Amino acid sequence: MTQNTYLDSFRKTFEISTEKMLEIAYGFRQAMEAGLQGQESPLKMLPSFIERPSGNEEGVFYTVDMGGTNVRSTKFKLSNRGFERLGEVKSRLKDPDGNYDYTNENTSAEMLFDFFAKNTEKLIQQGEQQASLGEGPKLGHTFSFPSRQVGINEAYLIEWTKEIKVAGVVGNNPNKLLKEALQRHNIDIEPVAILNDTVGTLLVAQYTHENADIGVIMGTGYNSCYLEGKHPLTGKEMIVNMEAGNFNIKLPLTKYDIEIDKRSVIPGAQLLEKMVSGYYIGEIATLIIEDFYANKAIFDDTDSMNKFRSKKIEIDSLDVENYILYPERTTHVLGCSLDDAMKLKDISKSIVLRTARLVVATLFGTLLHIEDNEIKNEHVIAVDGTIFEKMPNVPELMQQAMDELTRSPNKIVFKLVKDGSGLGAAIAAAVAEAKSY
């Protein structure tokens, strides 16, 4: 096979046709409905015990946001559907220089949650003395991992995702662990709400967009939630965390995806997430390039390949973004020809286009459920995460794919919602407070 025919046939394996998107959408809708009824389904359909916010949420709230790459403690003031960020401390869970790692199996639950408490302590020290905080401030906790929720303040971690392996958290309530850690640090702040980052993103969007009813995270991990009109548990509106990253029906898995899955901490799980999210995209690109090299379809000299291999592979999708945006720079970094750099660009673009189309297919499936087949209304889909925000053209590619499916341009629109996982937690804490009176 010539170099170019290898590239062409690779491109084809990454293409997702309109028909394939529809097939995935129907499968997704079915899986949603099975999961909602408590039947066997790859979609966990986890209740959040949160409905649409009233917009009257007010007060000062602390938040802890644990997403997988960083932990963030923030203090927000909410009023009149607006907010002010009064302070924030962000720390990486894994030190890039290798001094510590709070994601591996040698970390205990206490160590992890003490790290969160210390982060909150720094935030308090940044602003004011604890003594002046007033009567037991409340905290909202965004914990972005599949958790079986039994109330707004009580959830149990089902399993870690995003390759985290911390011991002693699965099966436990992260808000209880957080509360104990805060107490160990003599911090008088009470966790009152726990939520998924998708739910936070949707809550924030609902402040400004009346039609917002789906929330999506396209970051280190992948997931979506939606507002169920009549939840089987309550008969009322409720936001449902679908854990969409675990969807696995009719996905066009390539040999690369199968390999990524095999090498992962939880083989067989999170198949969609492993095809579309920031944690895995860089690794997919690496596998493809290794394959191209083995088949003499890229890099005539071993030097460039060795340079490519020795480059630190980022746990995010930065490389893919750079290959698309800066092929000239790639030629310098890897000492390769412009032709090779353009191949890296092409491969990366195929991965990104596939991401956009797979994600949109599942979102279309969600709309089919919400509208019961015929999409008559306008909807706003709130999205957060670096893949949507930073990866070249992703919002446009998603809009095109959605318009292709609805055949009604811009009826469904995507809105970037920044910091849904932080601010959403403050809104959730306010909702929990209002409920407790």
Binding of ligand BGC by 384 (CB under 6 A): no
| Min CB(331)–ligand BGC separation in Å | 34
CB of 196 or CB of 362, closer to ligand BGC: 196
| Min CB(397)–ligand BGC separation in Å | 20
Alpha carbons within 13 angstroms on the beta-carbon side of residue 222 total 28
Q: Write out the two tokens for 93.
A: 């869970």
Contact between 63 and 73 (Cβ < 8 Å):
yes
CB of 149 or CB of 304, closer to ligand BGC: 149
Element (H, E) at 418: none
Contact between 420 and 219 (Cβ < 8 Å):
no
* Element counts in the chain: helices (H) and strands (E): 15, 13
How many residues sit close enough to ligand BGC to count as binding (CB under 6 A)?
17
Interaction with ligand BGC in 209-238: which residues (CB under 6 A)? 217, 219, 221-223
* Amino acid at residue number 265: V
| Min CB(387)–ligand BGC separation in Å | 11
SS3 226: strand
Given the rule CB under 6 A, which of 104-112, 140-148, 179-187, 362-370 is the region that contacts ligand BGC? 140-148
Binding of ligand BGC by 245 (CB under 6 A): yes
Please give the Cα distance from 237 to 289 (Å, whole number): 47
CB of 266 or CB of 333, closer to ligand BGC: 266
Q: What are phi and psi of 46, to 5 degrees?
A: -85, 125
CB of 51 or CB of 163, closer to ligand BGC: 163
| Min CB(155)–ligand BGC separation in Å | 11
Contact between 209 and 378 (Cβ < 8 Å):
no
CB of 81 or CB of 390, closer to ligand BGC: 390
Pick one of 53, 146, 278, 424: the residue that binds ligand BGC (CB under 6 A): 146
Binding of ligand BGC by 161 (CB under 6 A): yes
Contact between 391 and 222 (Cβ < 8 Å):
no
Q: What are phi and psi of 164, to 5 degrees?
A: -85, 145
CB of 162 or CB of 357, closer to ligand BGC: 162
Please give the Cα distance from 177 to 171 (Å, whole number): 12
CB of 272 or CB of 285, closer to ligand BGC: 272
Task: State the pairing for strand pair 147-151/70-79.
Answer: unpaired
Binding of ligand BGC by 420 (CB under 6 A): no
Any residues with CB less than 8 A from the CB of 337 and at least 6 apart, and which?
300, 331
Element (H, E) at 186: none
Each residue 255-294 as x (binds ligand BGC by CB under 6 A) or -, in order, gives ------------------x---------------------
CB of 161 or CB of 366, closer to ligand BGC: 161
CB of 41 or CB of 198, closer to ligand BGC: 198
| Min CB(192)–ligand BGC separation in Å | 20
- Per-residue b/e over 79-112, b at no fewer than 16 CB within 10 Å? eeeebeebbbbebebbeeeeeeebbeeebebeeb
CB of 13 or CB of 70, closer to ligand BGC: 70
Binding of ligand BGC by 422 (CB under 6 A): no
Kindly list the distances between the CA atom of residue 431 and the CA atoms of 58, 212, 372, in Å, as whole numbers in the listed order.
9, 18, 29
| Min CB(392)–ligand BGC separation in Å | 21
Task: State the pairing for strand pair 82-92/138-143.
Answer: unpaired
Per DSSP, helices labelled H in 173-242 are 174-184, 197-208
| Min CB(9)–ligand BGC separation in Å | 31
Please give the Cα distance from 371 to 315 (Å, whole number): 38
| Min CB(305)–ligand BGC separation in Å | 32
CB of 223 or CB of 331, closer to ligand BGC: 223
| Min CB(231)–ligand BGC separation in Å | 19
Distance of CA 1 to the CA centre of its chain: 38
Each residue 168-197 as x (binds ligand BGC by CB under 6 A) or -, in order, gives ----------------------------xx
SS3 143: strand
Each residue 38-77 as x (binds ligand BGC by CB under 6 A) or -, in order, gives -----------------------------x----------
User: Which residues contribute to the site for ligand BGC (CB under 6 A)?
Assistant: 67, 144-146, 161-162, 196-198, 217, 219, 221-223, 243, 245, 273
